[in-house]
Amino acid sequence: MNLTFYKYQGTGNDFVMIDNRTKIFPKKNTDKISQICDRHFGIGADGIILIENDNDFDFKMIYFNADGSQTFCGNGARCAVAFAKFLNIIKNKTTFLAIDGEHFAEINDGIISLQMIDVDDIKVNKNSVFMYTGTQHHVEMVNELTDFPIYEKGKKIRYSYENPGSNVNFVQQIDDATFRVRTYEKGVEDETLACGTGVTAVAIAMHKTNKTKSNLVSLPVEGGLLEVSFIEENGTYKNVFLKGPAQFVFTGSITV
């Protein structure tokens, strides 16, 4: 069966988008998901996103990592919002459902502002910070990010956590409210050009550890620039928004 797909990217985080409102995609076939995401033998992507109907929300987003595992993806969610607008499911504002719960988002001139979950369980360790921002994240500061061995160090730390492991974000401070980020993503098992849940974790971690006093943090990633804003109340980070571009790349068809 031929299935139309759409490729989107958000600051270099790229996704295969599929309108699955008719429930035709084989969601249980993890081998097919991995094959589609393969950059040599498939379309090539960091993950697959399905858009489905939901009785209580504008739509439901289902995200698969390149290895077929399910989680939440911040940049993927921003791309899902752009895709839902393309499908005429929404206009410029939406409330949708994902694996980590309800999300609100707004589109303005191609920039998607996505509300993330509240964060209150933050573990500050000697050399790192750990939290859940839709998926698990380890945040660690380094002095020089350009030549840092992201893959080697990231993979080691990723598997040091109990199943399902953790994404790993390495951070270099640029100024009082700017932090450069590179991320090793579990499920992709490599560095990606951006990670939305990752920069969200970084922004919160930098505020929590007093590296910044700003509630609006600029986060350059390998694929562009993202922003995270929040309100902190008694140790809980609320009204957390991830902001950045999401762009259509190309469309095609694939046999499933």
Contacts of 6 (CB under 8 A, 6+ apart): 16, 17, 18, 83, 86, 248, 250, 251
Please identify which of the residues 195, 202, 217, 242 carries the catalytic annotation: 195
Q: How far is the first Cα of the chain from the last one, in angstroms, to the nearest whole number?
A: 6
Output the CA angle 99-100-104, nearest 5 degrees. Answer: 100
Give the position of tokens 């303005």.
Answer: 108
**CA-to-CA distance for 128 and 161, rounded, in angstroms?**
13
Please identify which of the residues 73, 81, 97, 202 carries the catalytic annotation: 73
**CA-to-CA distance for 82 and 90, rounded, in angstroms?**
9
73 annotated active-site: yes
- 29, 51, 78, 152, 160 from 25: Cα distances, Å: 9, 11, 21, 35, 34
195 annotated active-site: yes
Supply the residues annotated as catalytic. Answer: 73, 195
